[in-house]
Amino acid sequence: MATASSGSARKAKRRAARPRVSVLRIGHRPGRDPRLTTHLALAARALGAERMYLHPPDPSVEESLRRVASKWGGRFEVVPAANWRAVVREHAGGVVHLTMYGLELARLVPRLRRASSLLFVVGGAKVPSDLYRIADYNVAVGDQPHSEVAALAVALERVRGLPVRGGRAGAQLQIVPSARGKKVRVRPGSPP
Ligand code: SAM
């Protein structure tokens, strides 16, 4: 007979088996896109990615995410990528290019969930055509143009599920869920 503890053990096993995810953002325009690219990195971090490679590099985005991590914890980092093709070539795992021209996400989800490591690649206004060939999968989230943040968020939720709540290692702040207003726990020893 299945017990509550065997159920939670199964859940923990499933969580541990989720693919590890990195994101590669190409086509960033320093000076024009910092807000959008910062939102992309925030979504990647919040939904369980370990890092976001950024091409071309932009120290302002790296710094914003360092500030977020120092308050909210975890190990997420923005990694400058002067050569994005090298990031794709050297990734040990599946390369998933998110594009509205790709195959339907739902069809690929079972296969992507079984991967141990994935690199999700998102573009900007224009995507270099060789990316379609060098990616292992070209994947569409719906069949309409929208945004790299929306596409990444939906894909991460479908492939990894929502991260477990409860704050991250090294966090100064932790949200206490609240029906109204804002409740935030400040960890002892955090700077004022
Ligand atoms: N024509 C582009 C394309 O190939 O999807 C749309 C450019 S859109 C401004 C910037 C990025 O958002 C794309 O490179 C892609 O990563 C992502 N994106 C937009 N719509 C998408 C969709 N329906 N499915 C998957 N990714 C999408």
Alpha carbon of 44 to ligand 1 centroid (Å): 16
Q: What atom of ligand 1 comes closest to residue 155's alpha carbon?
A: 25
Domain 13-164 sits in which CATH superfamily? SPOUT methyltransferase, trefoil knot domain (3.40.1280.10)
Radius of gyration over every alpha carbon of the chain, rounded to an integer in angstroms:
18
In this predicted structure, what is the pLDDT of residue 11? 57
In this predicted structure, what is the pLDDT of residue 189? 73
Alpha carbon of 143 to ligand 1 centroid (Å): 10
The domain limits of the chain are 13-164
Alpha carbon of 77 to ligand 1 centroid (Å): 23
The set of residues, in sequence order, having a beta carbon less than 8 Å from that of 23 and lying 6+ positions away, is 40, 41, 44, 49, 51, 52, 53, 119, 120, 121, 122, 152
158 lines ligand 1 (CB under 6 A): no
98 lines ligand 1 (CB under 6 A): yes
Largest CA distance in the chain: 60
pLDDT in tens, the chain (192 residues): 555 556 666 655 555 679 999 999 999 999 999 999 999 999 999 999 999 999 999 999 999 999 999 999 999 999 999 999 999 999 999 999 999 999 999 999 999 999 999 999 999 989 999 999 999 999 999 999 999 999 999 999 999 999 888 888 989 999 999 999 999 999 877 776
- Decide: pTM greater than 0.95: no
138 lines ligand 1 (CB under 6 A): no
